[in-house]
Every structure is written in structure tokens, then in C-alpha cells.
A and B are shown apart, each in its own frame.
Chain A
Amino acid sequence: MKALFSLAAITFKEGIRSRTVYGILIFAIFLMFLNVMISGMMMQDVAKVAVDMALSSLNFVGLLLVFFAGVNLFSKDIERKTIYMVLARPISRSRYILGKFAGISAIIVFSLAILAIFESASIVIMKNGYPAQFLRFSWSALFFSFLLTLISLIVVLSTGFLFASFSSTSFITLVLSIVTYLIGSSANEVKALLEVPHDIGERTSPLLLYCVKAACYIFPNLSLFDIKTEAAHGLFVPLSYILSSIFYGILYSFVMLSLSCIIFKRREFP
């Protein structure tokens, strides 16, 4: 367990040293001003646009971190063969994966926390400027949306780990992770789009419908973590929904990490 924590701490420090966080900080300040500027252009729904901007920028920065800092940090270890230095020590491959995952997750949580503080500051500025437009605004809804966005990023990261466990280059890992994200966040919409004509009796290819349904189960259903609309309009989201989404996210990540560990254990390095 100690080795796992040490590995996580080293990965975290490595991530911080890569100056990603400084980039995030600059980006966060820029986004804060952009949020104030754009939401101020609206006619009525200033609060909704401010929250939309805050949550979408959090999602966007989080994805950049997952794809370019997170997945790379693991797969580059394999590509550059620096992994040999770690594996030569008395540490199991599973612990190595879990330690790396914990460290990268910590970087994402830390960076997004910084971004969330700046985005919340932009919302406070707008709230003070337009108090009448923020009557339905809810900090708790915003917080839960932040939380679910974070969980969805960790789920995407876990799929990246699965790909890195068997792929030979970081580029393949990156491409597969991006594809997973694209399918995961749109599969539910595609399924809904195909089911509507099917439900009213129009012909839809059963094979296509079956494939999309299968994709919804195989790939992470990222739409479950999307409560941005509810947060933007201060709509009620049951706690049971939030808890079930978190449970799904944790379980999916657990499955992905378990598979990564199994594959990585059997992998032979040249």
C-alpha cells in the first residue's frame, strides 16, 4: 500500500512539474474573463449562460488534461521505456497501474479545483452584477455538476489506462481514448434518435439499433454525468440520481482498471 501511495505521489509531482497546472491557471483566468464577457451579452438568461460556460470550460480543460497529460504520463512511460526502472523494483504491475491512476486522478482533481474556483468567481461577479437573473441559481446544483464532470473524466482516464495497457504507442492510446469519449458522450443521443422512428413503427435497421445499444453498454455512458442543463437552470436533481451515477462511474472505472491490470500483468516488454 505504501508503494502505491509513493507511486501516486511521484506521479502527482511529475504532473505538477510538467507545468500543466500553470497552463491551467492562465487558462482559468482567461476563461473567467471570457465567461463574464459572454454571459453579460445575453438578454435575460445571464445565469444560465454563466453556468454553461463554467461547466463546459471545466469539461474541456479536464479532457485536455486526461488526453494530453493523463494518458500520456502512463503510455509515455512504456514508450520511453522508463517503466523498466519502476518494474525492476519490488512493486507489482497492478500496483504500478493503480498508483499511476491515483496520481493522475489527483492531478486532474487538483487542476479542476483551481479552475472551479476561478469559474465560481466569475459566477459570483455576474451574480452581483445581475442579482435578478440569478433567482433560480443553486450552488449545490453547480457543485454536483462539477462533481459528476470530474467523475466522467476519471472514467475516460480509466479507459485510457486500458488502452495504454496493451497498445505500443502513446498515439494509439490517445486516439482510442478520444474515440471512446466521442462514442460515450453521443451514444445515448444516437440511441434516442434511432429509437424514436422505431417506436412509431418506421423501419430502422435492427442491426444498427442493436450495435448502438451494445455500444451504450460497452462504452462508458457519459451522458449520465451530464447535469449541466439542470445546474444552469437550477432544476431539481434527485440525490439518488447523483449517487447512482457516481456508483456507475466508480464501478466502470474499477472494471477498466481491473482489465488494465490483467492485460498489463501478461504483457511482455522487449
Chain B
Amino acid sequence: MKRLLQLICPLLLVLILLLAHNLATQMQKQLRKTSDILYTPPADFLKISSLGNKGLFSDYLFLKVYTFYGGTLNRNSKPRIRNEEWEWMINVLHNATELDPFFLDPYYFANAFLVWEAGMVKESNLLLEKGSRKREWDQLLPFYVGFNCYYFLNDGLKAFRFLSEASRRSGGNQLYESLAARAAYNADKTEFAISYLEDRIRDAELHGRKAGVADIAKRLESMKAMREIELAAESYRKVFGRRPADIAELLEKKMLGSMPSDPYGGFFYMDSNGRVRTTSDMRSVKK
């Protein structure tokens, strides 16, 4: 009997322990479900409490956001992620980048999910701008900022600034160059686009780069043609006190010597706001 008790008692103890553990974890799940504390301590406090391990704390904070996001993929609720949860994520990412401003993943995550899924473009761009300032060698972050400004915020001038920075850092990436010029043009700053493209060509010549120079030159030619029409329209407005109705009017009043040709094969025209545009949209037109 004593031997049997000696055998049963430890087994019983283990069983009770397992049950207690399961009960406690269930309670913990309930607690998390009801309270949902979305809190992150201030970055300054984290800096002090990390005791010289800011990098590791930063990794931990990022992983916290990353795993939280991963955990929401199984949710059936709509919206899948609540607004306060997105805000918590950006706050934690902000703290992670305060601890280690060179850490790429928080910026990458912000651009991939907070911009495209949560639509938090302005908040994410603030984070990305910080990363772009700190990671001086990185071409991706200024590209993200520039792209977001151009595509989501319709801020052509800022987009131009960041895209041209991305292009400079990449040593002349054609995509960045083309987007930068387009952004400047859309911001009604054709002269920016022209001087930028001229600078890119000079830079390519200086470094003996030939790839992509022909494309830049073509875009430059198109931009210069549009600028010529813009200047003519500006003179027209000064003389007649109103905007010309179309380019034909500029030709008729001798404000424009001849109709410039679009190297992409399109035709220049003036939209309802008086902006000079081309039917080719600066892409080669198939004839």
C-alpha cells in the first residue's frame, strides 16, 4: 500500500500541476482578451533601462510588433486590426528606431504594412524620413518616402527631393531618376526636373556611365519642350492678362515660334488648368 501511494502521489502531483498550468494559461488568455493593454514605455525610459543594450531592446520591440501583426492574420473580425492597434504598432516602431535609428526592419515594416494596409502614410513617412537621414548609404528609404509623397500624398516637390536623393545614393538608378523628374514635373516645377536631369547626364558623363543616358536625354528633351511652351504661356498671360486657350493660340499670337515635337511621339496640349502636358505621358507611343 505504501509503495502504491509512493507511486501514485507524484503522478497525482504532476497531474494537478498540469491542470493548474492549463487553468492559469486559460485565465491569462481571457485577461489579454479583455484588457488588451496596448502600451509602450517612452523611448527615453527604454534608452536608460536598456543598460547599454539598446540594439537588443530595439530588436525585441520590432519582434513584438512583427509577431503581433502575424498573430492578427488568424483573426476573423472586421477590421482585422483596430486603429488603436495600428497606432500602438507605429509607436513601438518609433521607439525601436529611437533605440537604434539604423535598424532597417522597423522602417521596412512601416512601409510594407502601415502604409499599404493601414493607410498611415504621413505617420510612416515621418518614421521613414528619420531612417533616410540616419542610414545615409541606403537608397531604399528615400525612395519609399519619395514614392509615398508622390503616389499617396500628391506632394510632388517633396517626392522630387527624396527620389533625387535615392537616385544620388544609388549612383544613378534609372527608375528613381525617371520618377524624380516626373514628380518635379507634376509639382509644376518643370525647371527643377530639367536641371535635375541635366545634372544626372553630367554625372553619368563624369563617371563614364552610358547605360540609361539616352533615356534621360530623351526625357530632358521632352521636359525642355514643355518648359518652352510654359514660358510662352507665361509671356502670353503677361501681355494679354489671361491664359491662352491652347497652344495654337500661342502660335497664332507669335508667342511660340513653332510647335515643339515630343521625342516620345505624342502631342503637347494644355489641360483645363493651363498645364502643359503630352499625349505620350513621356512614354514611347507605338505608331
Contact = CB atoms under 8 A, between A and B. Distances in A.
A190 B45 CA distance: 9
B124 to A, nearest CB: 15
B241 interface: no
Query: Size band of the B side of the interface?
Result: 20 to 34
Interface in B47-96: 47-49, 51-56, 58-59, 62-63, 66
A44 B108 contact: yes
Given A52-B59, A53-B56, A229-B100, A43 B51 contact: no
Nearest to A135: B137
Interface in A183-237: 185-186, 189-190, 193, 222-223, 225-226, 228-229, 232-233, 235
B56 A189 contact: no
B255 interface: no
A193 B100 CA distance: 17
B215 interface: no
Contacts of B198: none
B196 interface: no
B169 to A, nearest CB: 14
B102 interface: yes
A185 B52 contact: yes
B54 A229 contact: yes
A228 B104 contact: no
B44 interface: yes
B221 interface: no
B60 to A, nearest CB: 10
A205 B15 CA distance: 58
A48 interface: yes
Contacts of B228: none
A52 B56 contact: yes
A182 B44 CA distance: 16
A53 B59 CA distance: 9
Given A41-B63, A193-B44, A229 B108 contact: no
B55 A52 contact: yes
A43 B105 contact: yes
The B interface, classified by DSSP as helix, strand, loop or mixed, is helix
B53 A48 contact: no
B48 A190 contact: yes
B102 A193 contact: no
Nearest to A42: B105
Contact of B108 (A41, A43, A55, A136): A43
A190 B52 CA distance: 12
B159 to A, nearest CB: 23
Contact of B51 (A45, A185, A229): A185
A189 B50 CA distance: 10
A44 B62 CA distance: 12
A181 B51 CA distance: 9
Contact of B55 (A43, A181, A223, A232): A232
B264 interface: no
B103 interface: yes
A49 interface: yes
Given A42-B105, A233-B102, A48 B55 contact: yes
Contacts of B56: 52-53, 56
A49 B52 contact: no
B52 A223 contact: yes
B52 A229 contact: no
Given A189-B47, A193-B48, A56 B105 contact: no
A56 B55 contact: yes
A225 B47 CA distance: 16
Contacts of B103: 45, 48
Contacts of A222: 52
Contacts of A55: 55
Interface string B243-278: 000000000000000000000000000000000000
Interface of A: 38, 41-45, 48-49, 51-53, 55-56, 59, 136, 181-182, 185-186, 189-190, 193, 222-223, 225-226, 228-229, 232-233, 235
29 contacts: A41-B66, A42-B105, A43-B109, A44-B104, A44-B108, A45-B103, A48-B102, A48-B103, A52-B53, A52-B56, A52-B58, A53-B59, A56-B55, A136-B137, A182-B51, A185-B51, A185-B52, A186-B51, A189-B44, A189-B48, A193-B48, A223-B52, A225-B52, A226-B52, A228-B52, A228-B55, A229-B54, A229-B55, A233-B102
